Amino acid sequence: MGTGVSRKPEKATEEEKKQRKRKRKTKQTITRAVTHIRLIEANAGKLDALDQLVTVFQALCQQYVTLFCTAYETPDKYAAPVFETELSERWHRVAIQQAAGIAKSWRTNRQAATSAYVEDLADYAEAKARATASGEPFGCGRKEPAWHEWKLLELRAPCIQANANVVVVEPSEDSTFDYWLTISTLDKGNPLRVPVRLASFHKQVITGHALNTSTTLHKRKGIWWLTLSFDEDVPLQTEPSAPPVGVDVGIANLLTTSTGKHYGSFHGKLRKRQKRDREKRHRKAKLRACLKKKGVEKLPSTSSATGQRLARHVRQSINQAVNLMLEDHPEAQIIYEDLSVSSMRFKARAMNAYLYASQLAHLPEQIAWATAKRGIAAHTVKAAYSSQECSRCHYPDRANRPDQKTFKCVVCVYEDHADHNTSVNLARRFGDKELAACRNKGEIKALLMKRYEDWKQKNRLAVVEPPVQLGLWARSETSTDVG
């Protein structure tokens, strides 16, 4: 009887799930940020109350970030308050929520880095054992992976992610301003009222949309800035039958598609700029060390303006590459790797750490954002072994990659541009339920080995034939490859 009772609601939720899925296919909701709204200081010292507030807020937020990163398994934005503060209860909650968000992404990234390290270590041990068994020399150019513990986060730039409990945005009755911002302060019952004037392009963007109640306030170089946001429904333009196009994300080529195209690169100009910047920072660090030795108290800063300019330039190059790629594939579903900041860092380290991982991580983010904005369907798939797997026979092996840009299967001798081979694999992983169900890298490798065995069975006779015949398999094997 118990099962009969519980089954009914279960069915209903299944039906609900299906309905939600159907809905998701016709449109997607994106949150648009309206940035760079400068807070007007009507008279000198008007924003002093905000400065005082953020000092206390930031210190409290930092305490919770450290707590959530060290003591709590999972950062919880509803966690009970544990620190003393002069902030109101509502502000206290906002600080906890903001800290939980920051700590959560720190923990996720650290976790991903840990598993990447563990896998790399296993890879290394395996290769070493293989070399020892075969009596070959091991270690030329390959270092044992080392774990570097992550630094705890230190909040620097003053920033408040507020909600309507503490900061209220209201349209202004007066035509001189667009909105009034009411910020509750340390001085209870005495909120700060700040007028907000929007630029015409801000107004254009917002017209016809209801603003979200959450706001962000941050201070840079002595100036307070406000960020507003609103939700927008974007109808999905891509047909469900549109061909999947795999996109590999990398450094030599920012993007490579399974249709055989490359977009952008970190090499060339960007790399030169980065090298110059690094040398400059090294010189500065040397100077600092020297001055410190001599007992100089006020040391020159280590942050570099050129570094920030470079980062901006990299982001622009990335955006450009993504836009070009989407223009070239208007009728396609974009399939890309589900990469986290830390795995990008990993990818960067393997490739000589050309660029800061945070810049590299901008790539998948930009793909997600640019496709959502245009109503283009985009999906992430599991990336494990996608660069080592042979897109013809599935055999996964590091040895299939003799160098960074070459793919050459050690079994079926299939040869391809390495990034293209990866993008073909990614495209094919879309809708691959068996692969999606794998819980870790080991299971994925086992599945690929099984597929390779199947492939070998099917092509038993042909395997010994010279590559002349291989074209035939390529066609039947890569039925989902649109290239």
| Chain contacts with Zn ion (rule: CB under 5 A) | 390, 392-393, 395, 409, 411-412, 414
Token pair for 388: 């080592």
Which residue type is seen at 284? K
**Regarding beta strands 378-381 and 333-337, do their DSSP bridges make them parallel or antiparallel, or are they unpaired?**
parallel
Q: Which is nearer to Zn ion, 101 or 483 (CB)?
A: 483
Phi, psi of 263 (to 5 degrees): -135, 120
**Least Cβ distance, residue 14 to Zn ion (angstroms):** 40
Enumerate the H helices of 294-440 as residue ranges: 305-328, 341-350, 357-360, 362-374, 418-429, 433-436
Q: What is the dihedral of CA 13, 14, 19, 22, to 10 degrees?
A: 140
Q: Across the strands, what pairs with 407?
A: 416
Q: Which amino acid would we find at residue 273?
A: R
Query: Which is closer to Zn ion, CB of 362 or CB of 394?
Result: 394
Q: Is 351 or 411 the residue whose CB approaches Zn ion more closely?
A: 411
Which CB atom, from 93 or from 429, has the smaller least distance to Zn ion? Answer: 429
Residue among 251 and 427 whose Cβ is closer to Zn ion: 427
Of 249 and 409, CB closest to Zn ion: 409
Q: State the nearest-atom distance from the C-beta of 452 to Zn ion, in Å.
A: 8
Contact 321, 255 (CB under 8 A): yes
- Tell me the closest approach of the beta carbon of residue 412 to Zn ion, in angstroms: 3
Half-sphere exposure of 304 (CA within 13 A, CB side): 18
> Which CB, 64 or 395, lies closer to Zn ion?
395
Q: Minimum distance from CB of 114 to Zn ion (Å)?
A: 32
CB of 151 to Zn ion, least distance (A): 42
Residue 87 or 409 with smaller CB distance to Zn ion: 409
Q: Give DSSP secondary structure letters for 19-62.
A: HHHHHHHHEEEEEEEEEEEEPP-SSTTTTHHHHHHHHHHHHHHH
- One-letter amino acid identity for 110? R
C-alpha distances (whole Å) from 368 to each of 313, 323, 371 are: 20, 12, 6
Helix (H, G, I), strand (E, B) or coil at 200: helix
Question: Token pair 């054992």 is at which residue?
Answer: 129
Query: Smallest distance from the beta carbon of 347 to Zn ion, in angstroms?
Result: 23
DSSP code at position 71: T
- The answer to whether residues 32 and 64 touch, using CB atoms and an 8 Å cutoff, is no
Q: Which is nearer to Zn ion, 12 or 399 (CB)?
A: 399
- Would you say 68 or 414 has its CB closer to Zn ion? 414
Q: What residues contact residue 21 under an 8 Å CB cut-off, 6+ apart? A: none
d(C-alpha 266, C-alpha 251), whole Å: 5
Least distance between Zn ion and beta carbon 409 (Å): 3
Which residue's CB is nearer to Zn ion, number 337 or number 477? 477
Distance of alpha carbon 462 from its chain centroid, rounded?
43
State the minimum distance, in angstroms, from the CB of residue 142 to Zn ion.
Answer: 24
Angle at the Cα of 118 (from 112 to 122), degrees rounded to 5? 145
Please give the structure tokens belonging to residue 401.
């990659």
d(CA 88, CA 50): 14
- Min dist. Cβ of residue 399 to Zn ion (A): 11
The position carrying tokens 């092996």 is: 397
Complex with Zn ion: residue 234 or 410, whichever CB lies closer: 410
Residue 96 vs residues 59, 84, 193, 212: alpha-carbon distances, Å: 11, 12, 24, 20
Tokens representing 64? 């919770």
Distance (Å, rounded) from C-alpha 60 to C-alpha 454? 59
CB of 413 to Zn ion, least distance (A): 7
